[in-house]
Amino acid sequence: MSARNVLACAVLGLVGAISTANADVINSATVTIWDGATPGANAGSASQQGLPTATGLFGGPLPLILASSPLAAAINYNDTAGSNSIPGFFASDTPAATTPATCVGACLTNPLSTGNFQFATVFRFTFTQVAPATFTVTHDDGVSLFVAGTETNGCTIANCPGDLLPTSAAVPTTAEFHSVNIGPGTYDLWYAEVNGLPAVLEATSTPTVPGPIVGAGLPGLIAACGALIAFARRRRKLVA
């Protein structure tokens, strides 16, 4: 292959790499919050899981402290040493999110979580995905993901119908990440903060339908380079 063709294929590869690496931070549309004291709980208790059944809405122990409220903000929270409060959690967003105006009273003053699983908070962030994508979430503590409105009260860490993530993602943890392919639609991302800070929740989506050149991934790139080489050879024969 001539130096020119090598360069062309290298450029093509770079374009492909760039096209498939564009992860966008997901923005929430609304947030709902439950929290409360959980005396006697441990890491396996229902109140400590990032599942809908941690909340009173689905028979769990945590009471509602913020009804579904508009929150147009990046799901990009990283609260490592803040005030250990719900407003402090929102302030840890990048860019900082404004605490909903309807967050008053206990919503403003309750701790986010405390050690030994004695106080827990669960958030439900609702967002809309407009195209097929790989959803990736980094979290500390547990999370779960549902098509909005499909949650049931039969969800446990052993078996959670409708959860698009592994049920192991819902348990208290240090920071880890999970990914799943999702289609267009509206989703509920549930997140639990338990056992003290840090509180980390970062969600991104990466398109799974890239442009025409890299639409077939690596095979498409190889085919495109092969076509370029074949064309160059035919051209040399014609000129000769």
- 136-160: pLDDT as tens digits: 999 999 999 999 999 999 999 999 9
- Residue 70 and residue 221: Cα distance in Å, rounded? 43
Together in a domain, 173 and 192: yes
In the predicted structure, residue 16 carries a pLDDT above the cut 70: no
Together in a domain, 163 and 225: no
Give the closest residue to 122 by CA, choosing from 35, 36, 220, 203: 35
Does residue 220 contact residue 213 with C-beta atoms inside 8 Å? yes
Residue 2 included in any domain: no
Together in a domain, 168 and 74: yes
Q: Which residue has the higher pLDDT, 71 or 223?
A: 71
Residue 5 included in any domain: no
Tens digits of residue pLDDT in 189-208: 999 999 999 999 999 999 99
The amino acid at residue 67 is: A
Together in a domain, 104 and 219: no
Average pLDDT over residues 71-91: 96
Residue 14 included in any domain: no
Q: What pLDDT score was predicted for residue 226?
A: 52
Confidence grade of residue 101 (pLDDT, cut at 50, 70, 90): very high
Give the CA dihedral 46, 50, 52, 57, nearest 10 degrees. 70
**pTM of the predicted model, to two decimals?**
0.80
Rounded to the nearest integer, the mean pLDDT of the chain is: 85
Overall number of domains in the chain: 2
Average pLDDT over residues 71-84: 95
DSSP assignment letter at 125: E
Together in a domain, 200 and 223: no
In this structure, the number of other CB atoms found within 10 A of the CB of residue 199 comes to 26
In the predicted structure, residue 233 carries a pLDDT above the cut 70: no
Tens digits of residue pLDDT in 170-187: 999 999 999 999 999 999
Give the closest residue to 203 by CA, choosing from 60, 31, 66: 31
Together in a domain, 232 and 182: no
